[in-house]
Structure 1
Amino acid sequence: MNQNFNVSGMTCGHCEKAVTRAIKQVDPQAEVKIDRSKNLVEVQSQQARETLARAIAEEGYTVAA
């Protein structure tokens, strides 16, 4: 299932890696694509949207509803 998240606070490659790592901790099979210029995180995962959003937020980034 493809899910898009609007994530603010990502300013560098380290931020992208942190978000990707957080998502992969809840779903190691997830495919993650990040467009930092648009604050967009695309995730291909079977995990619930809330679970993925919580993982991103726990890394310190703001996920828009």
Structure 2
Amino acid sequence: MALTITVTGMSCEHCEQSVTEALEDLDGVTEASVDREAEQATIEGDAEPDTLVEAVEDAGYEASA
């Protein structure tokens, strides 16, 4: 299942990588693609949306499902 969440606060490639790693470290996430210009992350897998948002926020960015 693919889910797209909104991620704000990213300003560079390092930010994208930090969010990608935070998401891909979660159980149930098979792949994450982050686009700072679109302010979105698309996640493949079966992780719960609240868990995804929490991981992004723990990485220092704002997120909403």
Write out aligned runs for 1:14-53 (5 A). 14-27=14-27, 29-53=29-53
TM-score after normalising by structure 1: 0.87
**SS of residue matched to 2:37:** helix
Gaps of 5+ in 1: none
TM-score after normalising by structure 2: 0.87
**SS of residue matched to 2:3:** strand
Give the corresponding residue for 2:6.
6
Change (3 A) 1:27 1:4: same
- Alignment-mate amino acid for residue 31 of structure 1: E
How far residue 29 of structure 1 moved from its aligned partner, in angstroms, is: 4.8
Change (3 A) 1:29 1:6: closer
In the alignment of these two chains, the number of paired residues is 65
Which structure carries more helix by proportion?
Answer: 1
Change (3 A) 1:29 1:4: closer
Alpha-carbon distance in structure 1 between the residues aligned to 2:29 and 2:35 = 20
Which structure carries more strand by proportion?
Answer: 2
The list of structure 1 runs, each at least 4 consecutive aligned residues, that deviate by more than 6 angstroms after superposition, is none
State the identity as a percent. 32
Root-mean-square deviation (CA), in Å? Answer: 1.5
